Amino acid sequence: MLNVAKIREAGRVMRSGGVIVYPTEAVWGVGCDPQNRGAVERLLAMKNREWQKGLILIAASIEQVEPYIEVPSRMAWRRATATWPGASTWVFPATDHCPMWISGDRDTVAVRVTAHPVASRLCEVFGGAIVSTSANRAGDPPARSAGTARIYLRNRFDLLVPGALGGLDQPTIIRDAANGNILRR
């Protein structure tokens, strides 16, 4: 069951530069507005993660990821869109619209059009793609419960959106859109 009031509040929090915690397909995620450098830097500090590694963006629709990605070929586009919405993350060349604090030290960006009901609704209410990275400190296992996410992030986020995980045992597979190769199992 979606907590519509919390999801609306989460949209407001992200639009005002806040950081939220929410359930995803396999683990609890932490996210924010990808265009807000301060929010992203705060999220990275919570995770003790270097910006150079880059971050995943999730969206409720293909249109929400389009500003961030260049499509290298029709085949690459077909590969990705055949799995969306769903639990597949694809790496595309990044556009100039994609900030370096999202792409990291790469010229690519990882994106997913999620089918998870809470995560998808968060993107709809926010009005665009959001950052989605596991709610844990670098080197720790991903958080599989809201309580673990709270402990890992030391309650330094602004809002926790309740909900159930999507049922995957592992974080989503990440593939290279250009050739279909698996980058993370």
Q: Is the pLDDT of residue 113 over 90?
A: yes
The pTM of this model reads: 0.95
* Range of weakest confidence among 34-38, 41-45, 171-175: 171-175
Number of domains in the chain: 1
- What SS3 string covers the chain? CCCHHHHHHHHHHHHCCCCEEEECCCCEEEECCCCCHHHHHHHHHHHCCCHHHCCEEEECCHHHHHHHECCCCHHHHHHHHCCCCCCEEEEEEECCCCCHHHHCCCCEEEEEECCCHHHHHHHHHHCCCEECEECCCCCCCCCCCHHHHHHHCCCCCCEECCCCCCCCCCCCEEEECCCCCEEEC
Helix 4-15 vs helix 117-126: angle between axes, to the nearest 10 degrees? Answer: 50
At residue 32, the pLDDT reads: 98
CB atoms within 10 A of CB 169: 7
Range of the domain at 109: 4-184
Closest CA to 128 of 57, 80, 54: 57
Question: Could you tell me the CATH number of the domain that includes residue 56?
Answer: 3.90.870.10
pLDDT above 80: residue 1: no
Closest CA to 51 of 64, 37, 35, 31: 37
Selection from 109, 122, 101, 112 nearest residue 44 by Cα? 101
Determine the pLDDT at residue 170. 86
pLDDT band of 185, cuts 50, 70, 90: confident
Sheet containing 88-93: order of strands: 130-131, 56-59, 108-113, 88-93, 173-176, 182-184
How far apart CA 122 and CA 178 sit, in angstroms, is 28
Which residue carries 């519509």 as its tokens?
4
